[in-house]
Amino acid sequence: MIRAYAQEKAELHKFELLNQDYVSQNIRLAKLSALFMPLLQGLISVSFLMVLLAGGYQLLEHRISLGSFVMFNTYMGMLVWPMIAIGWVVNLTQRGKASWERIMELMREEPAIFAGKSKESRELQGEVRFEGVEVKYPAGLALKRVDLEIAAGETVAIVGHTGSGKSTLVSLIPRLIDPTRGRVLLDGVDLRELDQQWVRRQIGFVPQETFLFSATLADNIAWGMEGATEADISRAADLAGLSPDIASFPAGFQTMIGERGLTLSGGQKQRVAIARAILRDPRILILDDALSSVDTLTEESILTGLAGVMRGRTTILISHRVSTVQNAGRIFVIEHGEVAEQGTHDQLIASGGYYADLYQKQLLEEELEAI
């Protein structure tokens, strides 16, 4: 990003300013530390000198005895180093207090999502129901009184303009967030009552922002599936449309990819994430704009491969492309956090709403590209 916007000099200058400030603060601390010990020793010496003068005068005037004078000097010498130690302890205490406050701030932080207590062992059917769901962020409401039901094994699609609340809606299902109001039911049970680890094991989730780890391609696909075999990984990659790309890699599945998938293209990263979700064999499959970085031919190939995977399991597709969602059993249109339209592809085209307008625009784009 820095290179793309030619900001090397600006970033170096910013870094240099931070370094200069850090160096100047350390030099100031070093100067104070260098001044402290001579000043302390000087004050101690002056104190002893004053005691010697005042005590000697009192001794000459026979107001005190020689023993009292020697004893006073001895006690003062014994008290010097404990007083210095108290100063060091106060300094250490202040530093420790600053660290302690930061630690306690973390320790007092309460999780936004509390794990449910119900330990499920039954087989999940995959029915999802939203009842009066609202989600409020600091910037405002992301979802407003959403009521919709997805039957077990049904394939549905969610479309809408950017920022309409699509990703927020599907993030509620694996409990990445909890609703501000209302509830989300899984097979008729409130998600907040279920063990969140069990719920998440039943869900294959491909988010918009794909995260890959600095490991082999096979390890990234098998992430979270310790018992996955090479055949399982290969099958998942094939269904996700990764096989042609893997064949071109010198080390195949053992190819090391950088942090966040640095060595892969955007489309390849998305397909690795899809393969990771497929490998889990989930009861609920969520694809949040997971085909946005692939071309239409690759998209068609992936959707064909996924057709068998989606059969019999609850699948939720989010996309801005009509070609991705048109074969879904039902399509929900989200506008400003509310369900504005729902129906099949043909029904929504006939209704002439947002979906029909989106369809016409994409048809026009395809015609212009063909010219």
Determine, yes or no, domain membership for 113. no
Tokens in use for 63? 């107001």
Last residue of a domain, one of 72, 107, 142: 107
Same domain, 60 and 135: no
Determine, yes or no, domain membership for 242. yes
| Domain assignment of residue 46, given as a range | 8-107
Last residue of a domain, one of 75, 107, 139: 107
* Residue 110: strand, helix, or coil: coil
Tokens in use for 99? 């660290």
Tokens in use for 230? 């090479």
Using DSSP bridges, classify how beta strands 155-159 and 330-335 pair: parallel, antiparallel or unpaired: parallel
Determine, yes or no, domain membership for 36. yes
Per-residue pLDDT of the chain in tens (371 residues, 90 and over written 9): 888 888 999 999 999 999 999 999 999 988 988 888 888 888 888 888 888 888 888 888 888 888 888 888 888 888 888 888 887 888 889 889 988 999 999 898 887 777 766 666 567 888 999 999 999 988 888 898 889 999 988 889 998 888 888 889 999 998 888 899 999 999 888 888 888 888 888 888 888 888 888 888 888 888 878 778 888 888 888 888 888 888 888 888 888 887 777 778 878 888 888 888 888 888 898 988 877 766 777 777 777 777 777 788 898 988 887 877 888 889 998 888 888 888 888 888 888 888 888 888 877 876 776 66
Determine, yes or no, domain membership for 114. no
Same domain, 145 and 94: no
Same domain, 205 and 285: yes
Determine, yes or no, domain membership for 151. yes
Determine, yes or no, domain membership for 276. yes
Determine, yes or no, domain membership for 172. yes
Q: Where are the beta strands (DSSP E) in the chain?
A: 128-137, 140-150, 155-159, 181-186, 189-190, 203-206, 215-216, 256-257, 284-288, 314-318, 330-335, 338-343
Question: 194 with 115: CB under 8 angstroms?
Answer: no
Same domain, 197 and 342: yes
Determine, yes or no, domain membership for 2. no
Question: 310 with 285: CB under 8 angstroms?
Answer: yes
What is the tally of structural domains in the chain? 2
Q: How far apart are CA 285 and CA 315, in angstroms?
A: 5
Amino acid type, 277: A
Same domain, 97 and 230: no
Spacing of C-alpha 148 from chain mean position = 28
CATH classification of the domain holding 349: 3.40.50.300
Q: Answer yes or no: pTM beyond 0.75.
A: no
Question: 247 with 237: CB under 8 angstroms?
Answer: no
Q: What confidence tens digit (pLDDT) does each residue in 345-359 have?
A: 888 888 888 888 888
